[in-house]
């Protein structure tokens, strides 16, 4: 049995390589928010939604640390959306049209993904 597996090994190695060197990096989140300024005191919520207010994703930032200034929404590819930042005392909404780029995080001949970075300012 072992000798049979060893004889098949070159087929697996050759079949897997195919001359393409792809790393195993996960793709970046499709939509990333780069938020400048000082974040509010947590808790606060950041919601991505379609213009008709259909939710696309939500990030809840809780005490004591809150969230960072680069936040990701995997799988969000809407051409236009609203980003709502809601704190315990205020809320703001920004209409955005992300500029999605094709990315190849694992190499130029590997699986492609889409990513957009949207700059925002904390309310």
Q: Give me the torsion for CA of 43, 72, 23, 12, rounded to 10°.
A: 90
At 15-73, the pLDDT tens digits run 444 567 888 877 778 999 999 998 889 999 999 999 999 999 999 999 998 998 899 99
In CATH, what number does 23-121 get?
2.60.40
* CA 30 – CA 42 distance, rounded (Å): 25
Distance CA 86, CA 104 (A): 34
The pLDDT of residue 7: 45
Q: What is the pLDDT of residues 79-94, one digit of tens each?
A: 999 999 999 999 999 9
**What is the full DSSP assignment across 54-87?**
-EEEEEEE-TTT---SEEEETT---SSEEEEEEE
Mean pLDDT of 100-121: 90
**Domain layout of the chain by residue ranges:** 23-121
| Separation between Cα atoms, residue 34 and residue 27, nearest integer Å | 17
Residue 10 has pLDDT above 80, yes or no: no
């Amino acid at each position: 049995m072992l000798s049979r597996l060893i004889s098949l090994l070159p087929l697996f190695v050759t079949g897997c390589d195919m001359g393409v060197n792809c790393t195993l990096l996960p793709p970046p989140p499709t939509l990333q928010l780069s938020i400048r300024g000082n974040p509010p005191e947590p808790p606060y919520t950041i919601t991505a939604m379609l213009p008709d207010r259909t939710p696309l994703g939500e990030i809840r930032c809780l005490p004591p640390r809150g969230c960072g200034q680069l936040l990701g929404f995997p799988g969000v590819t809407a051409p236009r959306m609203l980003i709502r930042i809601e704190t315990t005392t205020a809320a703001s909404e920004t209409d955005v049209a992300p500029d999605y780029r094709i990315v190849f995080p694992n190499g130029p001949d590997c699986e492609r993904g889409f990513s957009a970075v949207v700059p925002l300012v904390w309310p």
